[in-house]
Structure 1
Amino acid sequence: MDCEVNSEGMNKREGEGCPRKNADAVQDRDASANPSSPIIAVFKVFQQELDTKHDKYERLVKISRDVTIESKRTIFLLHRVTSVPNAEDILNEADVKLDAVRQKIGLIAEELRGEDIYQFHRAFTAGIQEYVEAVSFLHYIRHRSLISLEEINARLVFMRTEKVDPKGSDEALPLGAQVLTFHVTPSDYLLGVADLTGELMRMCISSVGNGDIDTPFQLSQFLRQIHDGFSYIGNTGPYEVSKKLHTLRQSLGKVEDACYALRVRGSEIPKHMLADVFSSRTTLLDPEEGVV
């Protein structure tokens, strides 16, 4: 028996098992939908909110990508301090680059004004971790210590000028100053410090190649302290820490192996050949060997 359809496009005998013509029914309902319906109005608001959130997320991803690129360039620049006579020029140039990176982080702070940071955290976490790695690398080269989270956040305060609307006045709007702050989360700080250990291992290799036999021992002690600190965190920290802890142990093992080679055979090997001996030893070193 054919289905009888009324003027509103609905089946009269749906309850009796009569098949519906889904595609035609959907088209009929869409054509006859009332645009002033409160339900449609509510869903239009939801659509606008989701589009706005998606656009903000994409802008944050782009800014984070710029932060990552500039932070990596700063790290590459800092690796030159072991091979130049005047390291202060390199450090000053790195300061300028990091100031530019902080301005980009200020753009992230503007996007997050009035927002829940954890709704968009995945969009910019990679860039912030790279920034923490770069700024902590610079701090270690200058002070031979680890920068704290409070010191990092203290430099992420931005002044922004914007127009202030005087009530009941049509005159030109004056400019007002507003303070924006960006707080690096503890998890981003920990993950950035974990990545720092790889750069310190590379710094150790460069120092050995340049005949510097003091820096590797300083780095070995410093990396051991960082490793012990991460061991205390255990499973209570971010889940990414367990992945980076393996790389941290590899870096520590290579630095300790370099110190071993310098202590045992340093007096019998010319300084310009230490890098070759160290490289050949690290290629044969098991990742977990020598790491407690």
Structure 2
Amino acid sequence: MARTDEQLAAHLKEIEGKRDDEAAQSFDFAARTVYRVFNNEDWEHGGRFYGAWWISCPSELRPYILINGKRTVEVDYSGLHAAMLYAQDGQPIPDDPYERCLTRKDNKAERKLVKLTFNALLNADSVDRIGEIEDYSPEITGRSWDDFKWYIVSKYPEFRQHFGSGVGLLLQRKDSDLAEKVMLRFAAMRYACLPVHDSFIVHHGLQDELDRIMREVFEAEFEVSGKVGVDIGIGEVVEGAGLPVEPNPDQLLNPVGYEARLQAFRDKRGKAEDTHILPL
């Protein structure tokens, strides 16, 4: 992460009270390995990758992730679980599987609720008993939760048998297998590829390569080309967040936080080395 303390504090304040999908734990930048989590004591259920700090990083902050000091790009499979179901049934995959549910095109807030509800319907074992998704807003959808979930069901007659069937965990096994294949392709090239379930973060210069590999992996699995979406990261010059980075002589002479601890460590180490100098 390339952010000053002030910029990071400002962004954390912006997202305070929000709960991103995986932002359930604080950052531990030493957590740089991933492991797979399966469900229901069944190797065919789940299998997604967890453990690394960037997976828990809220989406608002991920564009500021740098790799080797260079900006990154995040590429994701568009409507992945819907695309998988279409592919399995031999049906054409729409450019945006969720668009049919939107009351206003390009309404990102409404699309997010459609996507979350769609996936919750696939994960649940009963449509009737499914609880309201987190951050659901009737002001955005114009419907109560019960009306909205049945509205989503009605918009996908081709998937009616999948809603309330728990098929979502089977699809998670498939999407995590796709993620593994994408990461292994990049590992073979000795390039970093950071997984965030159905999306991947790489050096911005590798965007086309990532796009190609994701499509190839999807096509090899489902014999049809998958569609991907792209989110370009913030550039290496990170001042663009509205809080310019300017030299402050007082902060340099009287550091605080990490810089203060680092300076104290260096001073202590220097004194210790001085006490161990032997006379000639």
* Higher RCO (C-alpha 8 Å, min separation 6): 2
TM-score computed with the length of structure 1 as normaliser: 0.20
Q: Which structure has greater helix proportion?
A: 1
Computing the radius of gyration from Cα coordinates, the structure with the larger value is 1
Q: Which structure has greater strand proportion?
A: 2
